[in-house]
Amino acid sequence: METKIANITEENLTEESVQEILKEAGDIIKAGGLVAFPTETVYGLGGDGLNPDSSRKIYAAKGRPSDNPLIIHICKWEALEEIVEDIPKKAELLAQAFWPGPLTLVLKKADKVPKETTGGLDTVAIRMPDDKVALAFIEAAGGYIAAPSANTSGRPSPTLAKYVYQDLQGKIELILDGGQVCIGLESTIVDLTEEIPMILRPGYVTKEMLEEVIGEVACDKTLMNADSSQAPKAPGMKYKHYAPKGQLTIVSGTEEKVVCYINEQTKKAREAGKTVGVIATDATKPLYQASVVKSAGDRQQEETVAKELYRILREFDDEEIDVIFSESFGTNGIGQAIMNRLLKAAGYHVENV
Ligand code: TXA
Ligand code: MG
Give residue 186's Cα distance to chain centre. Answer: 3
Distance of CA 156 from the midpoint of ligand 2 (Å): 8
Q: Are strands 35-37 and 44-48 parallel, antiparallel or unpaired?
A: antiparallel
Ligand nearest the Cα atom of residue 193 = 1
| Any atom of ligand 1 within 6 Å of the Cβ of 69 | yes
Strand order of the β-sheet with 247-252 is: 292-295, 276-280, 323-327, 247-252, 350-352
Question: 51: burial class by Cβ within 10 Å (0-12, 13-18, 19+)?
Answer: buried
Residue 63 near residue 152 (C-beta atoms within 8 A): yes
DSSP letter assigned to residue 298 = -
Q: Around ion ligand 2, which residues have CB less than 5 A away? A: 149
240-261 tens-digit pLDDT: 577 888 999 999 999 999 999 9
- Closest ligand to C-alpha of residue 122 is 1
- pLDDT averaged over 10-residue windows placed end to end, the chain, 353 residues: 96 96 98 98 98 98 91 97 97 98 98 97 98 98 98 94 98 98 98 95 96 96 68 68 88 97 97 97 97 96 96 95 95 90 93 97
pLDDT in tens, 205-247: 999 999 999 999 999 887 777 655 667 777 766 655 778 889 9
Q: Look at residues 20, 23, 28 and name the one whose alpha carbon lies nearest to residue 3.
A: 28
CB of 222 closer than 6 angstroms to any ligand 1 atom:
no
Does this model's pTM top 0.85? yes
Give the residue whose CA is nearest to atom 13 of ligand 1.
Answer: 148
Establish whether residue 42 lines the binding site of ligand 1, counting it when its CB lies within 6 angstroms of any ligand atom: yes
Whether 144 contacts 158, CB under 8 Å: no
Burial class (CB in 10 A: 0-12, 13-18, 19+), 287: middle
**Closest by Cα among 316, 322, 258 to 287:** 258
Look up residue 109 and give its DSSP letter: B
Please give the pLDDT value at position 33: 98
Any ligand 1 atom below 6 A from CB of 182? no
Cα 125 to ligand 1 centroid, rounded to whole Å: 7
Spatial separation of the C-alpha atoms in residues 177 and 201, rounded to whole Å = 26
